[in-house]
Amino acid sequence: MRSLPVRPAPMVDEMIQSLAVRTAAANFAHPNQLGLPTARGLRTEQRVAARLAELLDMPAEHLTSLTLSAYPPVLRGEAQRRQRTWLHRTEWACPRCSRLNGVVLRRWQFSLHPLCVQCPSLLTVVGTHREDSAPPDTAALDAQRLIAQDLEPERLHTAGAQRRFADLYLLCELVSATVDQDWPRLPGWEHDLRAELSQPRTDWIRHPPSSPDRAATVVLECGRALANPARQRLLRGEAIERLAARDDDAARTLLRRFTPGAPDTERRRPQVPSQRTQPVLASLIRAIQRLQRTRGLQPRHVPAWPVDATDSLIPTRDRRRELEHRAVTLHVLLAGRWHDPNAEADARRDLGLRPHPRKRNAMLDGAVDATRAAHVVRIAERLVIQGLIDHHDLRRRLAAPTGLVSTVRQKVTGLPIASGVVLAAWCRLHQSPGPADEVTLAGVRALDCDLDPEQRLFLLEAIDNYLEAVDPARLDSFQPAIADERTA
Ligand SMILES: [Zn+2]
């Protein structure tokens, strides 16, 4: 493969697509003519990076490090939907700098960076026109710089920075739920910007706002508050008060997540059988409750097989049994039902696991020793870092995926021979690891061996597209298009 005559160098933190467009322009071509896809998406970026490596004669790893995938999951989310992600669905660029040099930065693609701090400007959504607004004032720029510190490469992957991203998101969710023209109190420029917005409400619970002005009126103030304990207490307190004044289900659900010491769970003490397991269980309960309160972890975020990076697509039988035990334990704890003898059966049903032959209680049987407790806490922390994927929803949508199988067969040609059941199970295991019968698992294993890397990539992309297409992005009004297990 020959490289191009003109090969522009990537700028610091430049988006890979921006580099692709500049490369094409410098060579008087359209990106498509050079085999560079122009669509957005984490997986398209990988293809752009691979192709640019050839065209620019640069190491592939270097270009891959310029994609959004190089950011931690707490920021970019996973390819699956229904989870917290800072990644918005429009493309933001600087109305001044990008117009001059054609460069679009990666950090601008996250809703925590609505300002260009160089010129400085409020960013714009590419392809839309906005009247030139007044440049951000010092207060706004300082807040933006404060948030941006954690985006610097040397900090980005530290646990502290990731915790701050998660905290910031949570605070934005809380504040945005009752934001209006007068609250929270904002400094001059942000206040004026909010006054221009017809309806200031931004529902971060579904996804971050897709326009920079809406993001700026929430994220900058939340960033300031996070850096100052007194200010944070005040903002949280006011937000909770405003939520409590609203009398609807959504507000009550939010309140439960944000107010410590929610009822039920703390009043009832765990009833555990032995002196030995009691302290372990009590400290496990505390750890899980803390994650629930501060991070919003819920039973619906638990996969049936909470695999880690070292697990293969289909873990061994013993390993599966252990993973299922951990999932059930975590589910019961998150449901606050460790004292309830029916909780385990309910958790197994929700996770899509077969009922246990005899009625028992994962907690009361003394089945939680120190090692297992440590694993359960680690799983919970991992689910938070991965961005709280809604596995309950994924399981329901992938339970009878007739449309999925025909879609992927259409989109990916030359697939190895496999039944619809096996293909569907392969897709499901990649989205939400969980049980299937042994025959199907054997088929999935064989199919997985026969796939080449490109087919695998296309297949994963087709699943994403399918899930996007069948889901109109309404979280509250969501009704599964497929029958649940009672009628299937
Ligand atoms: Zn700029």
Per-residue model confidence as pLDDT tens digits over 303-334: 999 998 788 889 988 899 889 999 999 999 99
**Residues 88 and 207: beta-carbon distance below 8 Å:** yes
Q: What is the model's pLDDT at position 266?
A: 33
Q: Which residues of 403-422 are buried (b: 16+ CB within 10 A; e: fewer)?
A: ebbebbeeebeebeebeeeb
Between the CA of 114 and the centroid of ligand 1 the distance, in Å, is 11
Residue 414 CA, ligand 1 centroid: distance in Å: 46
Ligand 1 centroid to 340 CA: how many Å? Answer: 57
For residue 132, the CA-to-ligand 1 centroid distance in Å is 13
Distance 99 CA to ligand 1 centre (A): 9
Cα–Cα distance for residue pair 373/229, rounded to 1 Å: 32
Q: CA-to-CA distance for 326 and 322, rounded, in angstroms?
A: 6
100 CA from centroid of ligand 1 (Å): 9
Total domain count, the chain: 4
For residue 104, give the amino acid letter.
V
> What is the CA(93)–ligand 1 centre distance, in A?
8
Identify whether 163 is part of a domain: yes
Q: What are the helix and strand counts (H, E) for the chain?
A: 21, 4
* Type of residue numbered 206: R
What is the C-alpha separation between 215 and 110, in angstroms, rounded? 10
pTM comes to 0.61
Beta bridge partners of 92: 125
Q: How close is the Cα of 113 to the center of ligand 1, in Å?
A: 12
Give me the domain span that covers residue 447. Answer: 396-470
Distance 308 CA to ligand 1 centre (A): 41
Q: Is residue 477 part of a domain?
A: no
Rounded to whole angstroms, how far apart are CA atoms 303 and 186?
A: 40
Last residue of a domain, one of 355, 389, 423: 389
Q: What is the pLDDT of residues 440-485, one digit of tens each?
A: 999 999 999 888 878 888 888 888 888 777 654 433 333 333 333 3
Q: Are residues 405 and 378 in the same domain?
A: no
Integer Cα distance of 407 and 445 in angstroms: 21
Co-location of 385 and 402 in the same domain: no
Q: Is 480 part of any domain?
A: no
Are 313 and 239 in the same domain?
Answer: no
pLDDT at residue 342 greater than cutoff 70: yes
| Same domain, residue pair 240 and 206 | yes
Last residue of a domain, which of 97, 127, 157?
127
Nearest partner of 110 among 141, 58, 70, 137, judged by Cα: 70
Whether 484 maps to a domain, the answer reads no
Q: How far is the CA of 123 from the centre of ligand 1 (A)?
A: 8
Instruction: Read off the tokens for 154.
Output: 């040397």
Q: How far apart are CA 406 and CA 424, in angstroms?
A: 10
CA of 89 to the centre of ligand 1 (A): 21
CB 370 within 8 A of CB 280: yes
* Contact call for residues 4 and 27 (beta carbons, < 8 A): yes
Q: Do the Cβ atoms of 378 and 330 come closer than 8 Å? A: no
For residue 274, the 8-state DSSP code is -
Spatial contact of 325 and 318, defined as CB atoms under 8 Å apart:
no
User: What gap in Å lies between CA 63 and CA 52, rounded to an integer?
Assistant: 7
On whether both 405 and 383 belong to a single domain, the answer is no
pLDDT-derived band at 395, boundaries 50, 70, 90: confident
Give the Cα separation of 276 and 342 in Å (integer).
Answer: 24
CA of 208 to the centre of ligand 1 (A): 22
Tokens of 260: 């410590």
Q: Which tokens sit at 213?
A: 């002005």
Phi then psi for 247, rounded to 5 degrees?
-115, 70
Nearest to 112 by CA among 147, 69, 160: 147
> Residue 132: inside a domain, yes or no?
no
Of residues 92, 347, 392, 381, the one with CA closest to residue 214: 92
Out of 365, 389, 413, a domain closes at 389
Position 472 scores a pLDDT of 42
What is the distance in A from the centroid of ligand 1 to the CA of 110? 16
Ligand 1 centroid from CA 213, angstroms: 15
Is the residue at 1 inside a domain?
Answer: no
- Residue 134 within any structural domain of the chain: no
Q: What is the DSSP letter of 481?
A: S
**481 CA → ligand 1 middle, Å:** 45
CA distance linking residue 246 with residue 16, whole number of Å? 44
Please work out, in degrees rounded to the nearest 5, the angle formed at the alpha carbon of residue 144 by the alpha carbons of 141 and 149: 125
Number of residues assigned to the chain: 488
Range in 135-144, 294-303, 391-400 with the lowest mean pLDDT: 391-400
**Residue 163 and residue 100 share a domain:** no
Give the Cα separation of 72 and 79 in Å (integer): 13
Single out the residue of 80, 11, 4, 37 nearest to residue 461, CA to CA: 80
Output the pLDDT for position 20.
Answer: 94
Mean pLDDT of the chain: 83
Do 227 and 316 fall within a single domain? no
Residues 404, 459 within the same domain: yes
Sorting pLDDT into bands at 50, 70 and 90, what band is 273? very low
Report how far ligand 1's centroid is from the alpha carbon of 116 (Å): 5
Of all residues in the chain, the percent with pLDDT exceeding 70 is 88
Q: Tell me the CA–centroid distance for residue 189 and ligand 1, in Å.
A: 17
Name the E strands within 158-303: none
Q: How confident is the model at residue 40 (pLDDT cuts 50, 70, 90)?
A: confident
Are residue 367 and residue 422 in the same domain, yes or no? no
* 222 and 295 co-located in one domain: no
State in Å: Cα 117 to ligand 1 middle: 6
How far apart CA 355 and CA 303 sit, in angstroms, is: 16
Is 162 found in the same domain as 97?
Answer: no
DSSP state of 92: E
One-letter amino acid identity for 423? L
pLDDT in tens, 218-257: 999 999 999 998 899 899 989 988 988 887 877 887 787 7
**Gap from CA of 249 to ligand 1 centroid (Å):** 42
**Which tokens is 51 given?**
């192709």
Q: How many Å lie between the centroid of ligand 1 and the Cα of residue 104?
A: 10
Q: Is residue 319 in a domain?
A: yes
Q: Which amino acid is at 340?
A: D
Rounded distance from Cα 98 to ligand 1 centre (Å): 7
85 in the same domain as 69: yes
Gap from CA of 121 to ligand 1 centroid (Å): 6
The CA–CA distances, whole Å, from 161 to 37, 71, 311 equal 32, 12, 27
